[in-house]
Chains A and B, each alone.
Chain A
Amino acid sequence: MSPDKLAYMANQIASFFKSRPHAEAVAGIADHISNFWEPRMRVQFFQLLENEAERFDPLVQEAGKYVRPVTANA
């Protein structure tokens, strides 16, 4: 997936949770990505977050550390 599209999708999720209380929004974004994004997408997400964090909404940047990690055998 193009990095643009991936970042766009993550930021779209953030826009839904934006008006929630901060902690709830961060947890909501992390849960959503954990539940619906296939490991390949999450691997790409983590990489992009590490290298080009500025592509992401601050809420996504914060949620990143709560997103389900991808284990090697997944």
Chain B
Amino acid sequence: MTLVHEIDYGTPASKAESQVTLTVDGFEVSVPEGTSIMRASMEAGIAIPKLCATDMVDAFGSCRLCLVEIEGRAGTPSSCTTPVAEGMVVKTQTQRLKDIRRGVMELYISDHPLDCLTCAANGDCELQDMAGIVGLRDVRYGYNGGNHVTARNNGGDINMKWMPKDESNPYFTYDPSKCIVCSRCVRACEEVQGTFALTIEGRGFDSRVSPGMHEAFLESECVSCGACVQACPTATLTEKSVIEIGQPEHSVVTTCAYCGVGCSFKAEMRGDELVRMMPYKDGKANRGHSCVKGRFAWGYANHKDRILNPMIRETIDQPWREVSWDEALSFAANRLRGIQEKHGKESIGVITSSRCTNEETFLVQKLARAVFGNNNTDTCARVCHSPTGYGLGQTFGTSAGTQDFDSVEQSDVVMIIGANPTDGHPVFASRLKKRLRQGAQLIVVDPRRIDLVKSAHVKASHHLALRPGTNVAIVTALAHVIVTEGLYDEAFIRERCDWEAFQDYVEFVTDERNSPEAIEGFTGVPADEVRKAARLYANGGNGAIYYGLGVTEHSQGSTAVIGIANLAMLTGNIGKPGVGVNPLRGQNNVQGSCDMGSFPHELPGYRHVKLDEVRSVFEDLWGVTISNEPGLRIPNMLDAAIDGSFKGLYCQGEDILQSDPDTKHVSAGLAAMDCVIVHDLFLNETANYAHVFLPGSTFLEKDGTFTNAERRINMVRKVMAPKNGYADWEVTQLLANAMLKETGRANWSYTHPSQVMDEIAATTPSFAGVTYDLLEEKGSVQWPCNDKAPQGTPVMHVSGFVRGKGRFIRTDYVATDEKTGPRFPLLLTTGRILTQYNVGAQTRRTANVVWHDEDVLEIHPHDAEQRGIKDGDYVKLASRSGETTLRAKITDRVATGVVYTTFHHPETQANVITTDYSDWATNCPEYKVTAVQVSQSNGPTDWQEHYEAFSERARRIEAAE
């Protein structure tokens, strides 16, 4: 194994189609028009010396090392900023160039420390490389003059130009003494990340990199994405892990296990120790970029809280007892079989994980269907994107998002509805912001003023700040404007959609009750803004809609998704790059877990269990009879548990107690069960109610695939042995075999996840062409991938909708029953923050807590003042479901009457507050609307104190004998 080597071409690729041929040092090379000489030369295999150029950012031309001579042109132009021309003859190595380069390097080195041997970048320093490449042998200027290198001048007085290291960021250091002011970091922050946190302060010899206004990194606007560290050619910006461990010696390409963007990384290793995660340039979702979570927040994999041995207990009031795998598995299998004997086949079920691989998820649903003999399988998509499955399935014929992430580069108008990409899907947000800076326009539909509404060099043309719960009214009003003002694409609709359904829809949508004016009163959005936004989306060129859980997690979540699909069909924004309907998926493999048949009514590939021809495919292969009845969804499982007919649950890599709504209802359901098996890295909140704990493995410890929000199947590769002994797919197999033991049926005998993928391909038409060999060859592939699309499908519905004709469906607005009143006059809505992820089990166990160590309640100054609440006060947040306390943050990002918080911390348990209202079609909970009251508080609520004590007790582990 070696380091995966990626060529740095120095400047970005040109997208021009016409080719230009030139000669570099006598070698002919053809490149797209607009390519730099530097890049063309690299294509020809000749690396021109460079310092300020790197292909992640545009050429800058400041270091003067990459100079070349061009026949017929005067002087020595920089090759990074000079585009190629037909017939150009370039020389990269002449005596004049050699002398100039050596002179430049001599100046650089005269103001740079010479501690190379003990420097963290030793072995990975472009300055060191260039000194060697240009043949620098002497620095005639000495080191005693003005410099940024030493704290004191030669005479012992203080050197005012020197600055100490900034170690404020938990993941990287900034050592100004090593800076060569190439400004690669500044440009990466602007061009790649789009945050504009860095600048060059001062002029001439005083210039230096400055976060914000000469602030420490941690205090500045820096979002710690690490693009600057990646761009830095010296040890000025260095990962603390590299400082601590040293340079990596081999690397493996794998996929991030955080959000649904699914970034590709090189896991850079020394032995089996992870040194750093480096975004992979060939990763088609991220194109070499990352966020603070993916690049830096992997320390949880080694956290002391990780449980590495199986544990069991008779009842949940007992302490845990560490046992062997055999004992834990036979305990679990006996209990589950016992429950089934006593309470029937349908009395147990599974929850598959959206954090585990496709292969693991496939096996967990197979466990339910083939071993338990029922369809009681569900997944966390129940509580996030199940309405997407229903809504897009009904209108387009498949729940799939329609585009790849590259598509945004061709969008002219982007509408973001109920999503906060800069926090939830940061790398996509960076790609979007890049497009917005190029001139695309933005419409934001969100109750909160998210960062995209206005931040550095980004400003939404329209922000429709609606009251939580009124999405359907707004989306329908947008359609009303498009139809009544004749802005729809009739040709597209006639050709591609069901014309009769369209006629019916027109009759519905043109009704005055759906006009922007009619809904203004209860949505709070000025009618004029709605009209302008509709016109912009319909007329602005390629229109793309990206949406998140702010759309789905409502009583009318499915209806809102249908409304969005209607908008795209009305305007013909489907079936080509730059447009589409794009659900931003929450977790790394939530797309995959849905694809793999995690839902209780669907077998893999979204095919209903009632269909005989689908069941028979699996029945023949598995040698079992599969139930043709839909199974229980998560909330139904909990209800059935309380009723006494559901007694056992195998929950892999989910923490339903913290993530699911109405915590008290969830805990009552779990407490009513006789066998709860939690399979996870940590003793999560759900494990407080578990009888069996099976330790899980991290994404670094297993092979498999994740499928991201663009349907892209990415490889996950094992870089270290599982610390708990088994990859998660092996644990599920062990449990299945423990249960099969006395049945006389054959054991499962997978020896590698690729065999599971083969089984998926053999049974599921949209995956028919997927093999590990294909993934190795192509890097990744987007399903459907089969005979019709052997290379996969970047854009869906290109020549027709999956269901045939696109189907318009009426979207009546029905107000949620979760209404404000005198007791609960405010509306609570919940969401995510950049540095934390979901229930926080992983991110809370990393240094990311320096940014967000508790959940806070955002409240408008007006509402705060009425209640006598000051910024930073502890406040009580109460709904009809429960109450908790947390700190208040006074901000006008939320409107009056609306409060907002995150759900990352179990001490707060925001879901104690949320209610059991849910989407009409899918039971996806209505997280985004809860009527609440906020008041001053003296301390934790009774519930918080009780839960903390219970939690501490439930986590006791009996000392080993």
Asked whether A38 lies within 8 Å of B920 as measured between CB atoms, the reply is no
Contact with A along B915-952 (1 / 0, CB 8 A): 01010111100000000000000000000000000000
Asked whether A12 lies within 8 Å of B812 as measured between CB atoms, the reply is no
Chain A residues with CB under 8 A of B556:
16
- A15 contacts B by Cβ under 8 Å: yes
Say yes or no: A19-B920 contact (C-beta < 8 A), given A1-B639, A38-B630. no
Min distance, Cβ A29 to any Cβ of chain B, angstroms: 11
Please tell me the number of chain B residues within 8 Å of chain A, measured between CB atoms. Answer: 31
Contact with B along A8-45 (1 / 0, CB 8 A): 01001101101110000000000010011111110000
Complex-state Cα separation, A32 to B922, whole angstroms: 10
Complex-state Cα separation, A69 to B446, whole angstroms: 42
Asked whether B601 lies within 8 Å of A40 as measured between CB atoms, the reply is no
Complex-state Cα separation, A18 to B629, whole angstroms: 26
Complex-state Cα separation, A38 to B627, whole angstroms: 11
Min distance, Cβ A72 to any Cβ of chain B, angstroms: 12
Smallest CB gap from A16: residue in B: B920
Smallest CB gap from B375: residue in A: A38
Asked whether B601 lies within 8 Å of A36 as measured between CB atoms, the reply is yes
Complex-state Cα separation, A16 to B921, whole angstroms: 9
Within the complex, which residue of B559, B627, B810 is in contact with A74, where a contact is CB–CB below 8 Å?
Answer: B627
Min distance, Cβ B629 to any Cβ of chain A, angstroms: 5
- B576 contacts A by Cβ under 8 Å: no
Within the complex, which residue of A9, A35, A40 is in contact with B640, where a contact is CB–CB below 8 Å?
Answer: A40
Asked whether A40 lies within 8 Å of B559 as measured between CB atoms, the reply is no
Complex-state Cα separation, A40 to B642, whole angstroms: 13
8 A Cβ contacts from B614-672 to A: 627, 629-633, 636, 639-640, 643, 645
Asked whether A13 lies within 8 Å of B508 as measured between CB atoms, the reply is no
Say yes or no: A19-B810 contact (C-beta < 8 A), given A9-B920, A13-B920, A40-B645. yes
Say yes or no: A74-B629 contact (C-beta < 8 A), given A1-B639, A20-B810. yes
- B610 contacts A by Cβ under 8 Å: yes
- B555 contacts A by Cβ under 8 Å: yes
Say yes or no: A1-B636 contact (C-beta < 8 A), given A15-B812, A38-B600. yes
Min distance, Cβ B831 to any Cβ of chain A, angstroms: 24
Complex-state Cα separation, A41 to B508, whole angstroms: 33
Asked whether A1 lies within 8 Å of B640 as measured between CB atoms, the reply is yes
Chain A residues with CB under 8 A of B685:
none
- B98 contacts A by Cβ under 8 Å: no
Chain B residues with CB under 8 A of A32:
921
Which residue of B601, B631, B636, B643 has the most chain A CB atoms within 10 A of its CB atom?
A: B636
Smallest CB gap from A41: residue in B: B636
Chain A residues with CB under 8 A of B645:
40
Complex-state Cα separation, A23 to B734, whole angstroms: 50
- B855 contacts A by Cβ under 8 Å: no
Asked whether A15 lies within 8 Å of B814 as measured between CB atoms, the reply is yes
- B883 contacts A by Cβ under 8 Å: no
Chain A residues with CB under 8 A of B630:
35-38
- B608 contacts A by Cβ under 8 Å: yes
Min distance, Cβ A67 to any Cβ of chain B, angstroms: 12
- B346 contacts A by Cβ under 8 Å: yes
Smallest CB gap from B600: residue in A: A38
Contact with A along B579-607 (1 / 0, CB 8 A): 00000000000000000000011000000
Complex-state Cα separation, A35 to B393, whole angstroms: 14
Say yes or no: A13-B632 contact (C-beta < 8 A), given A35-B601, A35-B610, A40-B640. no
Min distance, Cβ B814 to any Cβ of chain A, angstroms: 5
Within the complex, which residue of A1, A9, A19, A38 is in contact with B631, where a contact is CB–CB below 8 Å?
Answer: A38
Chain A residues with CB under 8 A of B608:
35
Min distance, Cβ B335 to any Cβ of chain A, angstroms: 21
Chief secondary structure at chain A's binding surface: helix
Chain B residues with CB under 8 A of A13:
920-921
Complex-state Cα separation, A13 to B918, whole angstroms: 11
Contact with B along A48-73 (1 / 0, CB 8 A): 00000000000000000000000000
Smallest CB gap from A42: residue in B: B629
Asked whether A16 lies within 8 Å of B812 as measured between CB atoms, the reply is yes
Complex-state Cα separation, A16 to B811, whole angstroms: 7
Say yes or no: A15-B920 contact (C-beta < 8 A), given A35-B610, A36-B601, A40-B346. yes
Min distance, Cβ B639 to any Cβ of chain A, angstroms: 4
Asked whether B814 lies within 8 Å of A38 as measured between CB atoms, the reply is no
Smallest CB gap from A2: residue in B: B639
Complex-state Cα separation, A41 to B601, whole angstroms: 14
Within the complex, which residue of A1, A2, A20, A39 is in contact with B629, where a contact is CB–CB below 8 Å?
Answer: A39
Complex-state Cα separation, A15 to B643, whole angstroms: 27
Complex-state Cα separation, A18 to B376, whole angstroms: 30
Chain B residues with CB under 8 A of A40:
346, 632, 640, 645
Min distance, Cβ B138 to any Cβ of chain A, angstroms: 79
Chain A residues with CB under 8 A of B633:
36, 38
Complex-state Cα separation, A15 to B812, whole angstroms: 8
8 A Cβ contacts from B800-815 to A: 810, 812, 814
Smallest CB gap from A37: residue in B: B630
Chain B residues with CB under 8 A of A74:
627, 629
Chain B residues with CB under 8 A of A19:
508, 810, 812
Complex-state Cα separation, A14 to B640, whole angstroms: 23
Within the complex, which residue of A9, A18, A39 is in contact with B812, where a contact is CB–CB below 8 Å?
Answer: A18
Chain B residues with CB under 8 A of A1:
636, 639-640, 643
Complex-state Cα separation, A9 to B627, whole angstroms: 24
Asked whether A12 lies within 8 Å of B920 as measured between CB atoms, the reply is yes
Chain B residues with CB under 8 A of A38:
346, 376, 600, 629-633, 636, 640
Complex-state Cα separation, A9 to B629, whole angstroms: 19
Asked whether B555 lies within 8 Å of A12 as measured between CB atoms, the reply is yes
Chain A residues with CB under 8 A of B810:
19-20
Min distance, Cβ A60 to any Cβ of chain B, angstroms: 12
Min distance, Cβ A66 to any Cβ of chain B, angstroms: 15
Chain A residues with CB under 8 A of B376:
38
Smallest CB gap from A70: residue in B: B629
Complex-state Cα separation, A36 to B636, whole angstroms: 11
Asked whether B639 lies within 8 Å of A5 as measured between CB atoms, the reply is yes
Smallest CB gap from B558: residue in A: A16
Chain B residues with CB under 8 A of A16:
556, 558-559, 812, 814, 920-921
Chain B residues with CB under 8 A of A37:
630
Chain B residues with CB under 8 A of A20:
810
Smallest CB gap from B562: residue in A: A16
8 A Cβ contacts from B446-486 to A: none
Complex-state Cα separation, A37 to B559, whole angstroms: 19
8 A Cβ contacts from B113-170 to A: none
Complex-state Cα separation, A33 to B511, whole angstroms: 30
Chain A residues with CB under 8 A of B636:
1, 38, 41
Smallest CB gap from B559: residue in A: A16
8 A Cβ contacts from B308-350 to A: 346
Chain B residues with CB under 8 A of A39:
346, 629
Chain B residues with CB under 8 A of A18:
812
Chain B residues with CB under 8 A of A12:
555, 920
Complex-state Cα separation, A32 to B393, whole angstroms: 13
Min distance, Cβ A43 to any Cβ of chain B, angstroms: 10
Complex-state Cα separation, A38 to B922, whole angstroms: 13
Smallest CB gap from B639: residue in A: A1
Complex-state Cα separation, A20 to B812, whole angstroms: 10
B residues contacting A by CB (< 8 A) are 346, 376, 508, 555-556, 558-559, 600-601, 608, 610, 627, 629-633, 636, 639-640, 643, 645, 810, 812, 814, 916, 918, 920-923
Top 8 A-B pairs, shortest CB-CB distance: A12-B920, A1-B639, A38-B632, A15-B814, A19-B812, A74-B629, A19-B810, A39-B629
Q: Give me 19 A-to-B residue pairs in the complex whose CB atoms sit less than 8 angstroms apart, sorted by A's number.
A: A1-B640, A1-B643, A13-B920, A16-B556, A16-B559, A16-B812, A16-B814, A16-B920, A18-B812, A19-B812, A35-B601, A35-B608, A36-B601, A36-B633, A38-B632, A38-B633, A38-B636, A40-B632, A40-B640
Q: 17 extra interchain contacts, Cβ-Cβ under 8 A, other than A13-B921, A36-B922, A74-B629? A: A1-B639, A2-B639, A9-B918, A9-B920, A16-B556, A16-B559, A19-B508, A20-B810, A32-B921, A35-B610, A35-B630, A36-B630, A36-B921, A38-B346, A38-B376, A38-B632, A38-B640
